[in-house]
Structure 1
Amino acid sequence: MSDQDSIVNSGKAPKPVGLYPHARRVGNLLFLSGVGPRSATSKEIPGVTLDDAGNVVDYDIEAQCHSVFQNVRHILEEAGSSWEKLVDVTVFLTNIPDDFKAYNKVYAEYFADNQPARTTVEINRLPTPIAIELKCIATIE
């Protein structure tokens, strides 16, 4: 497998905001780049209301969770992996005090059967006006 063959990009997930692929395969592991809740087909961010200047006025963390999980699923499937093959998830939240309970509830819905290792950290901000981003590792055959 050449370096180019190991690169995965999905048309069903939002385009990366920089020079990096959605995922990279190394052996039987698939490393996903940071994935957010942005829509793949528009500039919309599910659950986010912006003012005319592009500042966040309001957001719904549950809507963003559902969207980011769907984006991760699209990338996994495009690469030939699946949700059930996730082994490690790092979650970046911009507001743990207000969002952790709702995020944890939605997370439990998606990961009831498959329970990958998980780390959740609070960060000051993300490159786009989103409140959650995931960094994942999955197995692939």
Structure 2
Amino acid sequence: MNKNQSHEQNLVIYHNSLIRVTLEPSEIPWLIIYIQRSVKEVSQCTDEEKNMLFCALDIIEKAMLQHYKPDKINIASFGNILPQVHYHIMARFHDDGFFPQPMWGIKQRESTIHFDNVDFFCSEVQRTLDDKLA
């Protein structure tokens, strides 16, 4: 995602009254979970929001591990630019363009990996979130 693009423009793959999950445009599988309310810190979330957030994070991480078989899952939450509670969940691979640097770091190489089944993955995540978080 370019630095001027809004996170609001990302494809929403799941939402309910407490959280929203979006697909980050990237060369790697990368989803973001947001709390729907405007809160800056996890400690400001209700217990229900925290439970929903971490349940969704667990579901997404497991789905990425099963579907993509990455070398590592990265989970990040900074909030310096977007001061709202949100978590980035990224499937990382030794041959992705930024590895071992963070995705916000300096690109290390041109990536040779390609994921053509992102739509299927997103629909599976959406189905699982619908089933487990209902």
- Give TM-score, length-normalised by structure 1: 0.35
Structure that is richer in helix per residue: 2
Structure that is richer in strand per residue: 1
Higher relative contact order (CA 8 A, sep 6+): 1
